[in-house]
Amino acid sequence: MSGSASPSGKKKRLLAPREEIAWFPVIDEELCNGCEACVEFCRPGVFAPGQTDAGSEVCRKPKMTVANPYNCIVLCTRCEPVCPSGAIALPPGKSFEHFVGYVD
């Protein structure tokens, strides 16, 4: 299942409390370039800029963080291709399908 599409256009319904479903992105700090494309794209507000390195002599953009992991929509994968550096990874969707039911 790709993105937040559902079978036959049906709406999703979680079968467990959201806080019990560990579906959220992980950011590889080595790959993140701080472009904030994920922040601008993600309407639920999962991402935010991290802390800047105060001891650094070079002014760099802060790396992104998963600031609100449980705002992430279960089985949504739309943020992965938005990241130009490929720093965003999500768990395998098949492992989480049993947490989602579909209604008309």
List the domain boundaries for the chain.
25-54+61-96
Q: Which residue has the higher pLDDT, 73 or 12?
A: 73
Tell me if the pTM is above 0.85.
Answer: no
The pLDDT, as a whole number, for residue 9 is 74
The pLDDT, as a whole number, for residue 57 is 62
Q: Is the pLDDT of residue 60 over 90?
A: no
**Of 56-60, 71-75, 83-87, 92-96, which gets the smallest average pLDDT?**
56-60
CATH label, 25-54+61-96, candidates 3.40.50.300, 3.30.70.20, 3.40.50.1700, 3.50.50.60? 3.30.70.20
- Assign residue 75 a region (left: φ > 0; alpha: ψ between -120 and 50; beta: otherwise): left
Q: Is 37 helix (H, G, I), strand (E, B) or coil?
A: helix
- Looking at the DSSP bridge assignments, the partners of residue 12 are 102
Tell me the pLDDT band of 2, cut-offs 50, 70 and 90: very low
**Ordered DSSP codes for 67-101:** S-GGGSPTT--TTGGG-TT--EE---GGGTGGGEE
Q: Is the pLDDT of residue 101 over 90?
A: yes
Question: What is the C-alpha to C-alpha distance for residues 60 and 56, in angstroms, rounded to an integer?
Answer: 9
Tell me the pLDDT band of 63, cut-offs 50, 70 and 90: very high
Q: Which residue has the higher pLDDT, 3 or 72?
A: 72
The four Cα atoms 28, 34, 39, 42 give a dihedral, to 10 degrees, of: -40
Question: What is the C-alpha to C-alpha distance for residues 104 and 95, in angstroms, rounded to an integer?
Answer: 24
